[in-house]
Structure 1
Amino acid sequence: MSGVDWRHPAEDPAPTPALGARPAEPVAAVLALGANLREPAETLDAAVAALSALPHVTDVQASPRAVTAPVGGPPGQPDYLNQVVTLRTDLAPWELLAVAHRLEQEHHRRREVRWGARTLDVDVIAYGDLVSDHPDLTLPHPRAAERGFVLLPWLWLDPDAVLAGRPVAELAALAADSPGVRRAEPERHRLLAGRDDVVPVRPRAPRAPGRDAIDGSAP
């Protein structure tokens, strides 16, 4: 049996009152998804479908997907598919982080190598206007403003998007990796629908990730 501890900080209570507090009204949040193992397109479809099915989450919108070379980590990794999802939620920030972690677990994510290949990576990029400097959930995401593979899909979804007071379009133009980010070809079912930037077709019974904070049983 492996001696690696697969627990994630989000499985524990929120470390600060601000991260553990549910908002009085739903807030806008942004997630970044990426995958480069197994079947990345199917994985992203399933992740977006699961988010769309969750209690306390509405208005899920998924960006067109980007194909990008890995940034950092071991050499020889396959290219990534990256996507940005915007949504509205009345979950606490820490609960949303738990959602992200449980989605990764559902797709067998293992945190063995930093920036290594992964079946699914889900990052919380922004949660309303909340600013947090806690190391387990820094908001806005501390490196998102420099990542073209996050900024460009977000820009494709929302040309007026803003991150930490700066237009995403401006940040994307400055990101060093932006020239290597290319838009993925639309999948056939999207072409038949006449759109290439919609939330993927949902399976008949999408499986929501985990329980507790995301099934309405948490306080």
Structure 2
Amino acid sequence: MPESQASSVDKTVIAAIGFGGNIGNPRKTMARALALLDERDDIHIRTVSRLYRTPPWGNTDQEWFHNACVLVETTLDPHELLKVCLDTELALGRVRADRWGPRTIDLDVLLHGDFLSDHADLTVPHPRMTERAFVMVPLADIAPQAVVNLQSVADWSSLVDSEGIEALSRDGDWWLQP
């Protein structure tokens, strides 16, 4: 096999995905999304943050959200992982209407190994993630030493306004419970 192909075959990376939702039963929908991802051969759930109840961001005239973050081991490249996330959203009833509006489920690729991209179709690290407590607080549960824009997730988490954010679980096993 040529060297250029060999280096990209079965390379496992750690990626971070943000989860959220505020329509229906977000906890149940997020748990189903995690299960769907974990059923795949090319994605393995490594660790899940606590589940949080968070105030809406952007459009504040809506129900509060449930949010969590997950670290996965994957052989998918960033664009493939994004496609899996979007397909999972669709399978769980996501309808894209208003930006920052209510949603049954939202999956965002936050980080993907050391991959950096600033393209319209995929920006990694996720744009504005360091400004959003609903991302940084759960991400700090599972990857406090990860570096985003030259600063640790733990440091970013300490800088965001986390007022109103409430932990709904003691640990990351909430998605495995009936």
TM-score normalised over the length of structure 2: 0.89
- The 1:120/1:22 distance shift into structure 2, 3 A limit, reads farther
Which amino acid counterpart does residue 197 of structure 1 have in structure 2?
Answer: G
Q: Give the fraction of aligned pairs with identical amino acids, expressed as a percent.
A: 35
- Show the counterpart of 2:3: none
Is the CA contact 1:51–1:57 (under 8 Å) kept in the aligned structure 2? yes
Partner of 1:58: 44
| Per-residue deviation, residues 97-153 of structure 1 (Å, max 9, x unmatched) | 001101110111111111110000000001111111101100111111111111111
SS in 2 for 1:198: helix
Contact preservation (8 Å) 2:52, 2:167: yes
Shift of 1:54: 0.8
CA deviations 1:63-111 (Å, max 9, x no partner) are 1011101111261x11100010101111111110001101110111111
Query: Secondary structure, in 3 states, of the residue corresponding to 2:136?
Result: helix
Q: 2:172 aligns with which of 188, 197, 219?
A: 197
Match of 2:29 in 1: 43
Pairing of 1:47-196 with structure 2 (within 5 A): 47-73=33-59, 75=61, 77-176=62-161, 178-186=162-170, 196=171
Q: Does the 8 Å CA contact 1:67/1:184 hold for their aligned counterparts?
A: yes
Distance in 2 of aligned mates of 1:99 and 1:199: 22
Give unmatched runs, 5+ long, in structure 2: 1-6
Distance 1:136 1:185, change over 3 A: same
Cα distance in 1 for residues equivalent to 2:8 and 2:96: 28
The one-letter code sitting in structure 1 at the alignment partner of 2:18 is A
Structure 1 CA distance for aligned equivalents of residues 95 and 45 of structure 2: 29
For 1:88 and 1:165, how far apart are their aligned partners in 2?
A: 23
CA distance in 2 between counterparts of 1:81 and 1:184 reads 9
Q: Quick one: distance in 2 between partners of 1:23 and 1:97?
A: 19
AA partner of residue 86 (structure 2):
H
Greater than 6 Å deviation, 4+ residue runs: none
State the AA in 2 paired with 1:135: A
Uncovered stretches (5+) of structure 1, i.e. residues with no partner: 1-20, 187-195, 204-219
CA RMSD of aligned residues (A): 2.0
Change (3 A) 1:50 1:60: farther
Rounded to whole Å, the distance in 2 between the matches of 1:156 and 1:28 is 16
